[in-house]
Amino acid sequence: MGQKYAYAVVASGWHGWHVLDMDNLARIRQSRNLTQTQLADAISANQATISKIERGEGNPTLDMIQRIAFALNVHPSALFSRDALEQRALDAIDRMTDERAREAAVIVLETMAGSRPAT
């Protein structure tokens, strides 16, 4: 349940980000032996869009992120580095106006951080 809530917190902030760095997209796509064109076809987009996203120049919508994740058979969060997700979650929390929701979101993030493997 906590992961779903954390994902919702992150997702709620997506429209406020200028560029979403999908750090893991190219690696996952390549591990599936897919070309940019094949992935683009699978999500009804064009190759140039996938290329821009992989270079960090695109600004995919939440819908596109979900379609990419579905096509690659991964959770949408897998497309991003954990550090990037954590920072975006913190940014989204900073924009929250409901204090109880902010406190709940911080608890979720602290719980997730506590389960983070040592690096």
Q: What is the pLDDT along the chain (119 residues), one digit of tens a residue?
A: 333 333 433 444 444 443 456 778 999 999 999 999 999 999 999 999 999 999 888 778 889 999 999 999 998 888 887 777 777 778 888 888 999 988 888 888 788 777 655 54
Indicate which CATH number applies to the domain containing 90.
1.10.260.40
Q: pLDDT value at position 31?
A: 96
Listed in sequence order, the DSSP H helices in 1-119 are 2-13, 25-31, 36-42, 47-54, 62-72, 82-95, 99-114
Residue 24 belongs to a domain: yes
Q: How far apart are CA 73 and CA 103, in angstroms?
A: 32
* SS3 label, residue 117: coil
The C-alpha angle 101, 102, 104, rounded to 5 degrees, equals 65
Domain span at residue 94?
2-114
Residue 119 belongs to some domain of the structure:
no
What pLDDT, on a 0 to 100 scale, did the predictor assign at position 39? 97
- Longest C-alpha distance within the chain, in Å? 45
